Structure 1
Amino acid sequence: MNKEPLRHGPHHDSEFHHHHSHAATSAHPGEHHLLAIEDLSVGFEMYEPDASYFSAGKIIAPVVHDLNLSVHKGEVLALVGASGSGKTVLADAIMGFWQPNEIVSGTIWFDGERLDAGRIQALRGNGLSMVPQSVSNLDPLMPIGRQVIGAPRGATRRERRASLEERRPRMRSLFAQYGLGADVECMYPHELSGGMLRRVLLLCALMDDPRLIIADEPTPGLDLDLALRAIGDLRRFADAGGGVLLITHDIELALRCADRVAIFHAGTVVEETSTASFASPDRLDHSFSKALWHALPEHDFFNSPDISSKRR
């Protein structure tokens, strides 16, 4: 495995390169991105669905193909695509959550280092964290504090107990920073509101001081005020120097908080650009991106033929 830093070469931060344009704040310390995905394809090996039981051969059902994506330090990149389009499959592929019948190809670089399966596993919880889509990922029978602290570490009972105590101050600091009272530590998930549960999921990701957070649909079921608050938490993390890949179907929400937007359509990213480009369809390159602009409420839900012709 090549462990040398990925160098994209000297360039101005405003230049179009590596399949994307930039926001005003995009920067490339060390001449590389925090996350760079190149030519990623994900498919699932399965039996032919229409063949008879005894004669069915195996096929590869593609979900993601030839995808390129980059996240800079200090920014929120929103990956916007329809529900059920394969965005979660992409998130799981980046995190290394692969199914036995899953076939993944392409290259993933993290902070200049090319990753293999073993390195991705080592980075989970040690630089790379994920905020999952559903609050059902929280254990209903375990107090919130124990879930945020995480599994104890160590070979003996004493070492494991010591590891929990070492992590407790950071947990309490995060509780205070993100507006959760000390009493939440002893509460159970059913005792918290939906907005508080979303915040707990974020704190679980923040416990290990990550450099990149992948947030997979972090706002479903929340009203606008709570959704903006949840996104504001991610914005705060990015403003402190981290990177965020926000996966969402809500382009309006994405445009409120993200520095750049990647439009996910038909299994790949068709355009990756600054949110400022959505000020006018003339500043967008791909026809599907232009169609999304026209479909926004403030643009009167214009019935664009580009959207209807590209629906699956």
Structure 2
Amino acid sequence: MLEVSKLSIRFTRFDRRLRQVHTEMIHNLHLSISSGEILAVVGSSGSGKSLLAHAILGILPSNAQVSGDIYFKGEALTPASQRRLRGKEIALIPQSVQYLDPLMRVGEQVRQSVRQGDPAVLQRKAFNKYDLAEYVAKWFPFQLSGGMARKILISTATVSGARLLIADEPTPGLDDLAMTETLSRFRQKAEEGCAVMLITHDVEAALTVADRIAVLYAGTVVEIALRSDFTADGEMLRHPYTKALWKALPSQQFAAIPGVQPAPAALPKGCVFAPRCSLATSECEEFAPEPRKLRHGEVRCLHAT
């Protein structure tokens, strides 16, 4: 359904001396999602998760330069095709509730997203699934709580009939019941033949529903693993960062590693994780590893076995 190949994104800005400065935020990124699959994209803040979503939809700011290829159903995405598919075949559940139109009642916003079927019926069904009272349809966004606004955004995407859903941090602000319902709804959409990209920093939530997990670190996908690889002490995982991420969960060892994720303007020359990696060698510091297949997954690490 979706294939991203060699994607790089950089931004141009002017510094205090009015000199152009180029900062690359995503580097040579590869991933794919099949029909009927949920791919979770996980990573810490600043790793490039939302930028990836915006690049697929073609909604990056004007100072962004994008290289590489993005294919949807085998068709290369261009600015023209992105405009044609956006909100129809490809739908975004955005991270910020500010994407809601502040001047339009929320029920109307959901109904406008319907492409097939009775908009009023589908809007009522969506509200019922997410425990939203019917009178909420007449409210404006400023009248909603944060959790209610997020439910409206999810409703808008799920009634659209899109074949690719990109959910950017869809669960913050939701109670446990609503979060479980939302994730199960994504599972249902996948079983209906959709492809779902679930962008989240909540690894444990992702593992309840995703088929595969793509791990981002400093703008690079360092590993793509099966959900079943996240088990025991993480011996089935391939990349040192993924193993550290797994062991840092409260349900595991709650163990931290030294150092911090590097800033985009201060990336190391070789492997982006080398400064924090106990396995790093001089070769890691000089050369950025290419992605390679390993044990039914993918990894960027010279030492992964």
TM-score in terms of structure 1 length: 0.76
Among all aligned residue pairs of Structure 1 and Structure 2, give the percentage whose two residues are the same amino acid: 41
Match of residue 87 from structure 1: 49
**Aligned-pair CA distance for 1:125:** 1.6
1:185-229 deviation line (CA, Å, top 9, x unaligned): 223334444433222101211332100110111122334333323
Match of 1:295 in 2: 248
Q: State yes or no: 1:42 paired with 2:9.
A: yes
Q: Give the secondary-structure state (helix, strand or coil) at the position aligned to 1:121.
A: helix
Equivalences, count:
263
Partner AA of 2:240 in structure 1: S
In the alignment, structure 1 segments of 5+ residues that lack a partner are: 1-33, 153-162
After TM superposition, the structure 1 stretch with the greater mean CA deviation from structure 2, 177-186 or 197-206, is 177-186
Paired residues of 2:41 and 2:215 also in contact (CA < 8 A): yes
Corresponding residue SS for 2:148: helix
Q: In the alignment, what sits opposite 2:229? A: 277
Larger CA deviation: 192-201 vs 291-300: 192-201
What is aligned with 1:27?
none
Which segments of 5 or more consecutive residues in structure 2 lack a partner in the other structure? 262-274, 278-305
Aligned to 2:77: 115
Query: Does structure 2 conserve the Cα–Cα contact (< 8 Å) formed by 1:40 and 1:66?
Result: yes
Work out the CA distance in 2 between the residues paired with 1:169 and 1:69: 36
CA contact (8 A) 1:195 1:230 kept: no
CA distance in 2, matches of 1:128, 1:83: 24
The CA RMSD over aligned residues, in Å, is: 2.6
CA distance in structure 2 between the aligned counterparts of 1:205 and 1:105, rounded to whole angstroms:
28
Aligned partner letter, 1:279: T
Could you tell me how far 1:253 is from its partner in structure 2?
1.1
C-alpha separation in 2, matches of 1:285 and 1:151: 41
In 1, Cα distance between equivalents of 2:170 and 2:159: 17
Structure 1 residue 149 and structure 2 residue 102: aligned? no
- Report deviation, 1:305: 5.6
Which structure ranks higher in relative contact order (CA pairs < 8 Å, sequence separation ≥ 6)? 1
2:180 aligned partner: 228
Aligned residue type for 2:254: F
Could you tell me which amino acid in structure 2 is paired with residue 241 of structure 1?
G
1:237 and 2:203 are equivalent in the alignment: no
Query: Is the aligned partner of 1:138 residue 2:100?
Result: yes
**Amino acid aligned to 1:232:** S
Deviation of 1:84 (Å): 2.4
Report the alpha carbon displacement of residue 150 of structure 1 after superposing the two structures with TM.
2.4
Measure, in 2, the Cα distance between the counterparts of 1:218 and 1:41: 25
Q: Which amino acid aligns with 1:38?
A: S
Aligned residue for 2:276? 310
Alignment partner of 1:67 is 2:29: yes
Structure with higher helix content = 1
